[in-house]
Amino acid sequence: MVARTWSGRRTALKVGAQAVGAKLTGKEPLSLGEALIARMRHSLDALGADLWLSAPMTGLVEEDGRVTGVRITRNGREVTVRATGGVVLASGGFSHDQRLREKHLPSPTSTEWSSAAEGQTGDALEPAVALGAATDLMDKVWGAPSVVPPEGRPFFLVADRGVPGMVIVNAAGERYANEAAPYHEFVDAMYAHDRPGASTVPSWLILDATSRARYIFMGLFPGQAFPKPWLDSGFVKKAATVEELAARIDVAPERLRATVDRFNGFARAGRDEDFHRGDSVYDRYYGDPTLPHPNLAPLEKGPYYAIPVHPGDIGTKGGLVTDATARVLREDGTPIDGLYASGNVSSAVMGETYPGPGATIGPAMTFSWLAVDDIARTRSAEAR
Ligand SMILES: Cc1cc2nc3c(=O)[nH]c(=O)nc-3n(C[C@H](O)[C@H](O)[C@H](O)COP(=O)(O)OP(=O)(O)OC[C@H]3O[C@@H](n4cnc5c(N)ncnc54)[C@H](O)[C@@H]3O)c2cc1C
């Protein structure tokens, strides 16, 4: 809301001042996930622990039904590392393995829509399954509606879907869901509503000039022009009227016109009768508090823009079934001795839901801690 509210302007000034301050003093402050990982790395260094980079685990070592180590490729050589207490798998999901995506996830699916870390290639799944580990939720992702600019790095739409003056339509030019819904739910809706002749993969996000002038979108400031390569490559379609825009995205012009007119009617009346956009506190959080309705405003000023939206993800949810101390379980519910898993390599403790941001990292940290705690307790019990 940098162009809309005083609190938005103040926050932007504060962030800008911090960035300038950091440049002048030569500091490199970290925030968000980087800050979290940096703090953990700092703790690891303080304990004098080793961290081997570019050293992928390629297999598990099992002796008499117990996991006793891992095989690793390091500096081009296979090495076996013996684990005296246990092995904790924390290698992430399989977002970046197209074969595993096609095997397990709803279709169509693509690694190119995923914002997950590139190392999430599902390496640990098959070795654990070979030892009898059970899996669950393999067809689920931590959904993140995403746009993929020509540079190739996906942009995950969070606040960008809460703003007024914007609709998302299928290939027939129809709205099919509440655009401002939580990202996880929106991806589920994209797959649920995909049908022949009205595909939702990709969908089209339609913006008008007023919306572009007022709000940050895809990291661009209010009023900042779309980069030329985005327009030249056809990634962003631009047209003077709704009907011309419809023709550019192969939608019947009267169909898109009718959708926009219906939405504009809801916006003027202050209630989305079709999909209840803006009814929830979540929707309103990302809206514009200066308007009569924070999430609804008519699209009435050209130029209009259309951008394809894909059912992306920030990770996969399915993986090894674990218990309350992160021990990996077999189909019959018994634990595989010495094997633990946490984070996206394990089946999500949140099940099919996504209560909110933190629902992935929080359990990943907690179950890693529980795993190590269990290893320590078991070892001290064995020593007694
Ligand atoms: C843009 C974005 C925003 C997000 N926002 C939030 C948020 O606000 N809150 C939240 O809770 N979550 C958020 N997430 C999700 C969260 O970042 C992930 O769910 C979480 O990092 C997963 O942790 P992990 O340890 O399972 O996997 P990762 O963090 O991916 O770590 C797994 C590591 O294992 C390595 N690895 C893979 N295979 C091997 C192998 N064979 N041998 C050795 N190492 C291997 C990988 O290279 C990687 O470094 C976000 C994600 C993205 C992309």
Residue with tokens 């077999």: 330
Which ligand 1 atom sits closest to the C-alpha of 359? 11
Indicate whether residue 247 lines ligand 1 (CB < 6 A). Answer: no
**pLDDT > 90? residue 182:** yes
pLDDT one-digit tens code per residue, 244-287: 999 999 999 999 999 999 999 999 999 999 999 999 999 999 99
Distance CA 193, CA 170 (A): 9
Q: Is 135 exposed, middle or buried (0-12, 13-18, 19+ CB in 10 A)?
A: middle
CA of 47 to the centre of ligand 1 (A): 23
Contact between 246 and 252 (Cβ < 8 Å): yes
Name, in order, each residue with C-beta under 8 angstroms of 111's C-beta and a sequence gap of 6 or more.
95, 96, 97, 98, 101
Cβ distance 94 to 122 under 8 Å?
yes
Where would I find the H helices in 227-287? Answer: 228-232, 242-248, 253-269, 281-285
Q: Quick one: pLDDT at residue 111?
A: 98
Residue 356 has pLDDT above 90, yes or no: no
154 lines ligand 1 (CB under 6 A): no
Its CATH class, for the domain covering 144-313, is: alpha beta
Tell how far the Cα of 205 is from the centroid of ligand 1, in angstroms.
Answer: 28
Q: Is the CB of 358 under 6 A from ligand 1?
A: yes
Residue 190 is predicted with a pLDDT of 97
Band of the pLDDT at 357, cuts 50, 70, 90?
confident
Q: Which helix (H) or strand (E) holds 79?
A: strand 77-82
Question: Which CATH architecture describes the domain 52-139+317-383?
Answer: 3-Layer(bba) Sandwich (3.50)
> How many angstroms is it from 231 CA to the middle of ligand 1?
32
**Alpha carbon nearest to ligand 1 atom 21, residue:** 361
- For residue 329, report the phi and psi dihedrals to the nearest 5 degrees: -105, 150
Q: Which of 344, 346, 350, 365 most suits a substitution to test ligand 1, by most atoms within 8 Å of the C-beta?
A: 344
**pLDDT digit string, tens, across residues 25-69:** 999 889 888 999 999 999 999 999 999 999 999 999 999 999 999
Q: Is 61 in the pocket of ligand 1 (CB under 6 A)?
A: no
Chain region(s) in the chain for CATH 3.90.700.10: 144-313
Atom of ligand 1 nearest to the CA of 115: 53
**pLDDT in the model for residue 33:** 86
Residue 383 is predicted with a pLDDT of: 83
What is the per-residue pLDDT across 124-175, written as a single tens digit (0 to 9) for each? 999 999 999 999 999 999 999 999 999 989 999 999 999 999 999 999 999 9
**How confident is the model over 66-89, as a mean pLDDT?**
96
Q: What is the pLDDT of residue 233?
A: 96
High-pLDDT (> 90) share of the chain, %: 94
Atom of ligand 1 nearest to the CA of 343: 26
* 116 ligand 1 Cβ < 6 A: yes
How close is the Cα of 344 to the center of ligand 1, in Å?
A: 7
Tokens of 191: 């797959």
pLDDT in tens, 361-373: 999 999 999 999 9
The gap from C-alpha 57 to its chain's centroid, in whole angstroms, comes to 25
Query: Pairing state of beta strands 77-82 and 87-89?
Result: unpaired
Q: Which residues of the chain does CATH 3.50.50.60 include?
A: 52-139+317-383
